[in-house]
Amino acid sequence: MDKEALKSLTDIDIDRIVEMGWEDRTTFDTIYDQFGISEAQVIKIMRKSMKRSSFLMWRQRVSGRKTKHAATSEANRFRCSEQEKPKAK
């Protein structure tokens, strides 16, 4: 996703991305599948949307956390029928 597309995210999209970022079992790949944004872009959104102390606490929590990266995650996620289907990469 380029900068223009990143700017086109609605406030609701950004709120949902922040919420998914905080969830321990939601991987960055899941966020990419739903919104088409990379881990680095999620980090930028989190940095911009949160107080500095909250962002630093979040970064400390997710750094090196296996459940935030699908390739190393053992999390088996439930997807409700209302949730968007994953986009093809």
Quick check: 69 pLDDT over 70? no
Quick check: 70 pLDDT over 80? no
pTM over 0.75: no
Cβ-contact 1, 36 below 8 angstroms: yes
More confident residue, 86 or 37: 37
d(CA 62, CA 28): 10
Dump pLDDT digits (tens) for 34-57: 888 999 999 999 999 999 999 999
d(CA 66, CA 73): 5
> How many CB atoms are located within 10 Å of the residue 83 CB?
11
**Could you say which DSSP state residue 70 is in?**
T
**Averaged pLDDT for residues 11-15:** 93
